[in-house]
Amino acid sequence: MICGRTHEELLRDIKNFHGYVAPGLVIGAFMVDVAYRLLEKNVEADVIVETKHCLPDAIQIFSPCTVGNGWLKILDLDKFAMAFHDRHTHAGIRIWLDLKKAEAHPNIYKWFMGQVSKKDLPSEVLVADIMKAGDDILSHAPVVVIKNAQREKKGAIRVCDRCREAYSASQGEICLACQGLGYYMQAAANA
């Protein structure tokens, strides 16, 4: 069992959440599984993931940590790693894909390093290899998180003088969108 699931359930849950069985999420499931085996029981674990790609979804499927509840933070370091840590003491465990170990699994290594096309290495073959490798390709080490460990608290709310929408008062006199950071323009309403 991985993260309390059979192999079939694991792949099914990935497909349901992510849209398709991405190899990175399968590896991510093993990473989360390692983390929860090593974390002390009853610890309130937050997690920092070191890439925007794939891995955040593995965490959201296989752990209680999500972007929305604030227990998952995403750093854009573009590394295939994550660190689960006690939200109070910040002590925890970092898990990463270990290239040295992955060398013993050529398909996984070549896929991870972008050295093989999808045509030459079909997804089913790769995923089967990842399932077989399990946590063989992972390493972990204890860490203390020294940045980004605090949960963000919601501050005071005010109403923007321009758009009349509520926003976080810490943004200033008017909301960030009205300060020029807006991302849209008004389109004509449908008749």
Give the interface with Zn ion as residue ranges (CB under 5 A). Answer: 160, 162-163, 175, 178
From the list 139, 34, 40, the residue with the least C-alpha distance to 87 is 40
Q: How far apart are CA 7 and CA 153, in angstroms?
A: 38
Q: How far apart are CA 36 and CA 30, in angstroms?
A: 10
Give 43 or 174: the residue with its C-beta nearer to Zn ion.
174
Give 9 or 161: the residue with its C-beta nearer to Zn ion.
161
Give 133 or 175: the residue with its C-beta nearer to Zn ion.
175
Give 52 or 162: the residue with its C-beta nearer to Zn ion.
162
Shortest separation between residue 160's beta carbon and Zn ion, angstroms: 3
Which H or E element spans position 143? strand 138-144
How many C-beta atoms lie closer than 10 Å to residue 188's C-beta?
Answer: 5
Give helix then strand counts, H and E, for the chain: 6, 7
Shortest separation between residue 161's beta carbon and Zn ion, angstroms: 7
Shortest separation between residue 180's beta carbon and Zn ion, angstroms: 11
How many C-beta atoms lie closer than 10 Å to residue 161's C-beta?
Answer: 10
Shortest separation between residue 189's beta carbon and Zn ion, angstroms: 20
Give 27 or 160: the residue with its C-beta nearer to Zn ion.
160
Shortest separation between residue 61's beta carbon and Zn ion, angstroms: 36
Name the CA radius of gyration of the chain, rounded. Answer: 20
The SS3 of residue 162 is coil
